[in-house]
């Protein structure tokens, strides 16, 4: 009986993530441990894909830093994710927008979805 309560508490402590999909611009607040210190780093970029189901669900975020494309894969249920902010909703027709990798400048822009 106590084991069930512990499991329920573990699920309650997980942060509720907002709904987002491919093409959305998000800011991922990620906890980083350096020695005995802990800080929060913000990774802001466009969601390229969401893959997996259940526990294995993960999403890829791409940003351009110093004219170099950087992609980072985050697990959805990671305890290191502090919070996720959806900055803008993008209007795309696909779930996996890999074509964004070859585009630069104005061509790489994604139209905003009207709400």
pTM (predicted TM-score): 0.80
3-state secondary structure of 93: coil
Per residue in 81-111, pLDDT (tens digit) is 999 999 999 999 999 999 998 988 888 889 9
Which DSSP state fits 48? E
Question: Which tens digit of pLDDT belongs to each residue from 35-87?
Answer: 999 999 999 999 999 999 988 999 999 999 998 999 999 999 989 999 999 99
Query: Where is average pLDDT lowest: 11-20, 25-34, 35-44, 77-86?
Result: 11-20
Domains within the chain, CATH numbers bracketed: 26-103 (2.30.30.790)
Burial zone of 80 (CB within 10 Å; 0-12 exposed, 13-18 middle, 19+ buried): middle
pLDDT band at 2 (very low <50, low <70, confident <90, very high): low
């Amino acid at each position: 009986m106590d084991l069930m309560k512990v499991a329920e508490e573990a699920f309650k402590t997980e942060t509720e993530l907002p709904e987002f999909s491919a093409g959305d611009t998000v800011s991922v607040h990620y906890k980083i441990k350096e020695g005995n210190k802990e800080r929060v780093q913000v990774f802001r970029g466009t969601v390229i894909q969401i893959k997996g189901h259940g526990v294995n669900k993960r999403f890829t975020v791409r940003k351009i830093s110093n004219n170099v494309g950087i992609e980072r894969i985050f697990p959805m249920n990671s305890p290191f994710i502090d919070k996720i902010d959806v900055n803008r909703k993008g209007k795309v027709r696909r779930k996996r927008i890999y074509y964004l990798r070859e585009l630069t400048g104005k061509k790489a822009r994604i139209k905003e979805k009207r709400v």
